[in-house]
Amino acid sequence: MTKVALTAISAPPLSQETHSCWSCGSMRAAHFCESCGKVQPPVPVDYFSFFGLAPRLDLDLKALEKSFYELSRKLHPDLNARAGSQEQEWSMEQSSLLNDAYRTLKDPIRRTQYLLHLEGVELEEQSQSATKQARATGETKKQIVPPDLLEEVFELNMQLEELRMNKKTGEDDPALIEEVGKQKLSLESKHEALLRELQTYWKTWDSLIDRGPAPLAERAQVRDKMVDVLNRRNYIHNLVRDVNAAMEN
């Protein structure tokens, strides 16, 4: 069984005005009809369009939550439990689309990954399955260490190895534990710094989107920067996880 990589979803954004309600014929129907309240058949759209948003990254989360609650009050199956079976099915599909979209967009990392995915970049896919496969077979996953971390990572891996050995032999080395603890804190602060760095690229991206159709080269430039930050961040994330595992065991 082979998994085929997803290609970008390229459906046009849903226009809020162009659909007519299947039930009352009103022209203002989107996910639900604003005139009669009936749930409409789902239209394949990307998550940003689902909320009627442009593909911008610096989202107003309060406003997103508000739309999520408002749409839930219209689309959720509990509120359409007495409708016909076709409507109930649409309600379930629309509601799952809403939940999937909200879950993706409310999280800064998932949101960025999703946007990159829409742009045709696949980062998580290979990296995740490679990690899992490596863990399953017991091999070490070959990861490209970000150059600026090379020295630190080398040092840390030595210490982690020592820590694991100590655990096995029952030895206690408070100095080592303290040292690894410090490293962990430093990694965590790098992890946070990377999110801030990512946010600066969001602004660049958003300004490109706001300007209208941006030159492909410019888009590609910001995109590549975001991919780089996500990869580094992911690397550090895994490192912190390893440190936690070594310290807990």
Partner 1 sequence: MAPDRIVGIDLGTTNSLVAFMQGDTPVVIPGDDGLNLLPSVVALDPNHQPVIGNAARNSLIETPERAVYSIKRLMGRGVEDIRQELKLFPFRLADDMQPGEVLRIKLGDKTFTPPEISALILRQLKRSAERFFGGPVTKAVITVPAYFNDAQRQATKDAGRIAGLEVLRLVNEPTAASLAYGLDKKQNGIVAVYDFGGGTFDISILKLHDQIFEVIATNGDTHLGGDDIDNLLIAIALDDIRGDLGLDLRNNDLRRNAETVQAIRKAVIEAKIALSSDPSVKLDIELSGGQRYQREITREQYEQLIQPVIERTVGACKQAMKDAGLKPEQIDEVVLVGGSTRIPKVRALVKELFHREPHIDLNPDEVVALGAAVQANILGGGSEATENMLLLDVTPLSLGIEVAGGVTDKIILRNSTIPASATQFYTTQIDGQANVAIHVLQGERELAKDCRSLARFDLKGIPGMAAGIPRVEVKFLIDANGILHVSAREQRSGKEAEIQVQPSYGLSDEQVEGMILDSFDNAEEDFRRRQLIEARSETATILAALEKGKKDPAWGQLTTDEKKKIAKMEKSLVALHAEQDYKAIRKAIDVLNQGTMRLAELMMDTAVATALKGKNLDETDLGEAPTAPHPMAKAEFE
Instruction: Give the Cα separation of 43 and 90 in Å (integer).
Output: 10
According to the binding rule CB under 8 A, does residue 76 interact with partner 1? Answer: yes
Tokens of 68: 């999520």
Using rule CB under 8 A, residue 135 touches partner 1: yes
| Cβ distance to partner 1 smaller for residue 94 or 201 | 94
The one segment of 28-36, 77-85, 155-163, 215-223 that binds partner 1 by CB under 8 A: 77-85
CB-nearer residue toward partner 1: 20 or 23: 23
In sequence order, what are the beta bridge partners of 39?
32
Helix (H, G, I), strand (E, B) or coil at 195: helix
**What's the rounded Cα separation, in Å, for the pair 74 and 37?**
7
- Candidate residues 2, 10, 85, 169; the one interacting with partner 1 per rule CB under 8 A: 2
- Residue 105, classified by CB atoms within 10 Å of its CB into exposed (0-12), middle (13-18) or buried (19+), is buried
Query: Minimum distance from CB of 205 to partner 1 (Å)?
Result: 26
Binding test (CB under 8 A) with partner 1, winner from 43, 59, 64, 79: 79
**∠27-101-68 over CA atoms, to 5°?**
65
Identify which range of 25-33, 55-63, 131-139, 217-225 contacts partner 1 by CB under 8 A. 131-139
- From candidates 29, 32, 77, 234, binder to partner 1 by CB under 8 A: 77
If the CB atoms of residues 93 and 179 are measured against partner 1, the closer one turns out to be 93
**Considering the rule CB under 8 A, would residue 133 count as an interface residue with partner 1?**
yes
Query: Exposed (0-12), middle (13-18) or buried (19+): which is 91, by Cβ within 10 Å?
Result: buried
Using CB under 8 A as the binding rule, whether residue 124 contacts partner 1 is answered as: no
Residue 241 near residue 203, CB atoms below 8 Å: no
> Dihedral through CA 105, CA 109, CA 115, CA 121, nearest 10?
-150
32 forms beta bridges with: 39
Q: By CB under 8 A, is residue 48 in contact with partner 1?
A: no
Binding residue (CB under 8 A) for partner 1 from 43, 59, 92, 214: 92
Cβ distance to partner 1 smaller for residue 98 or 163: 98
Cβ 147 to partner 1 shortest distance, Å: 30
129 lines the binding site for partner 1 (CB under 8 A): yes
The three-point CA angle 67-70-74 to 5° equals 130
Please state the separation of Cα 88 from the chain's center in Å: 29
Tell me if 217 contacts partner 1 by CB under 8 A: no
Coil/strand/helix, residue 66: helix
128 or 200, CB closer to partner 1?
128
Binding site for partner 1 (CB under 8 A): 1-6, 69, 72-73, 76-79, 81-82, 92-93, 95-97, 99-100, 102-103, 128-129, 132-133, 135-137
